[in-house]
Amino acid sequence: GLSIVKKFVDAMDGKIWCESEVGKGASFFVQFKTTTRDGI
C-alpha cells in the first residue's frame, strides 16, 4: 500500500511523511502542489 502511494506522490512531485507517538499510533500525511485558475 504505502509503496504504491510513495510512487504516486513522487510522480506528482508531492510529499509524504509519518508522525507517530508511542502508545497512540501513527498518522500518515500526503501533500500535493496545486494551481488555481481564474474562472473555475
Domain boundaries, the chain: 2-31
Give pLDDT, residue 4.
Answer: 94
pLDDT digits (tens, 9 = 90+) for 14-40: 999 999 999 999 999 999 988 887 766
Cα dihedral sign for 22, 4, 9, 7? positive
Provide the pLDDT confidence category of residue 1 given band limits of 50, 70 and 90: confident
Cα 9 to Cα 21, 25, 37, distances in angstroms: 24, 23, 22
pTM of the model: 0.66
